[in-house]
Amino acid sequence: MSDAEQSFPPPTASYEADPGNVQRVLLLYSGGLDTSVMLKWIQDRYEAEVVCLTVNLGQPGEDYAVIVEKARRLGALECHVVDAREEFAREYVLPAIKANALYGGGYPLFTALGRPLIAKLAVDYARSNGCDTIAHGCTGKGNDQVRIEATVATLAPELRTIAPVRSWQMGREEEIAYAREHGIPIKSHQAGGTGGEIAPYSIDDNLWGRSSEGRWIEELDHAPEDDVFQLVTRPELAPDEAETVEIEFERGVPVGFDGERMELVALLERAAEVAARHGVGIVDHIEDRIVGLKVRDIYEAPAAALLLPAHQELEKLVCTIHQNQFKGGLERQWAYLVYAGLWWEPLRGDLDAYMESVNEQVTGTIGMKLYKGHARVVTRSSPNAVYDQALASFGESGGLFSQTASPGFIELWSLQSRMAWRLRNR
Ligand code: ARG
């Protein structure tokens, strides 16, 4: 038995790597502490080669040249960077918009939407780089491990996965010690300042939003501290002047912002910028994770906070009462599947077919007024609105809508309810 085989517990799942067979690993690399330690640790413990992949999903403030340089210095054969913003926006965020997707009533799913794409790219790069195994930095407590491993196991049954953070049993201190020992650069906020050991928030972000977890966020009675908001302006600091923007949709796709036609990625970035400036998109969320835990997240999702309500409003205007009653249930199911890591589940595709069909009519423009943390629909227009001002008006009587037909309608409409009431009140 080799060293590697002796020091690892036997795999639980069929897709987990057998340490003896790990030759070349595709590591999903962020450049942060966990995956940097991992890059070294995999080479040491598995005696394997490592190829890194870093995926750009529009997370702000990332310096990819620095990440690549760091990976190479830590021994990676190669560090690939892919700009997947366009694919992410088109194939993942757009379906979420058409499905008005919010999990638990508040989470616009940015991380949940990003993981299946990241894992799909990992599969592509693993195959083209001759890797047998995919490694990622997820812990054993979160949803992301489910999303990544379910994707790999679905798309590439021949590949195996390893999740070192789940098994290496290093705490933060030990990781930092390991990093120091192996010449892995540590940012001062990771090690804690000279005064104390303040661990950073656990952050994940992309162009659809940003999450923070950890530290005081785990104390449910602790109101948000100001320093957590790195994306959205705190509402109390937002401009004193309100701003109204118009968002134009074609068949459910946002195509224009304030009269200017834009590509999707640019439009999402513009929406995020305007909403963030006005303090829009902060969500303090209690969430039921798929692995059974209940946790609190602080979300900053400015683009979603502006575009989802606009889309939903337009959709409501062009759909009938029956479509509007029906769609919410399917939206909840869609959001739950995606949250739960089952992006590749056929039911999601079936639901998308319905969303697509409904969105055929979702063309028009919605005006949203932004002011100190709020975004409110103020204007609507659509060639497909199931709306006739003359019919709805209080000013008109008669016309196509026959008010004298109403009493007959009410009599029949309420018939069963009235009978049941009488029976119960005999
Ligand atoms: N609670 C959210 C989710 O499950 C956000 C997770 C953020 N992930 C992270 N690795 N920090 O999708």
Interval 149-204: pLDDT, tens: 999 999 999 999 999 999 998 999 999 999 999 999 987 666 544 444 577 899 99
Phi and psi, residue 119, nearest 5°: -70, -35
Count of other CB atoms within 10 angstroms of residue 41: 21
pLDDT at 1 over 70: no
Query: What stretch of H or E contains 237?
Result: none
Per-residue pLDDT band for 397 (boundaries 50, 70, 90) equals: low
State residue 188's pLDDT score: 63
pLDDT digits (tens, 9 = 90+) for 297-321: 999 999 999 999 999 999 999 999 9
Least confident of 112-121, 186-195, 257-266, 396-405: 186-195
β strands within 234-331, DSSP E = 243-250, 253-257, 260-261, 282-288, 294-300
Mean of pLDDT over the chain: 95
Q: From ligand 1's centre to the CA of 11, what distance in Å?
A: 25
Q: Is the separation of the CB atoms in 82 and 115 below 8 Å?
A: no
The closest residue, in CA terms, to atom 8 on ligand 1 is: 204
Q: Where are the alpha helices (DSSP H) in 60-171?
A: 64-73, 85-88, 94-98, 110-128, 144-155, 164-167
What region, left, alpha or beta, does residue 297 occupy, with left being phi > 0 and alpha being psi -120 to 50 degrees?
A: beta
Which residues form the catalytic set?
Answer: 34, 115, 144, 202
Which atom of ligand 1 is found nearest the CA of 203?
11
The closest residue, in CA terms, to atom 6 on ligand 1 is: 111
Residue type present at position 61: G
Q: How far is CA 374 from CA 102, 274, 368, in A?
A: 17, 12, 10
State residue 316's pLDDT score: 98
| Exposure on the CB side of residue 9, measured as CA atoms within 13 A | 9
pLDDT digits (tens, 9 = 90+) for 129-142: 999 999 999 999 99
The closest residue, in CA terms, to atom 1 on ligand 1 is: 297
Which atom of ligand 1 is found nearest the CA of 112?
12
Which atom of ligand 1 is found nearest the CA of 143?
4
State residue 398's pLDDT score: 60
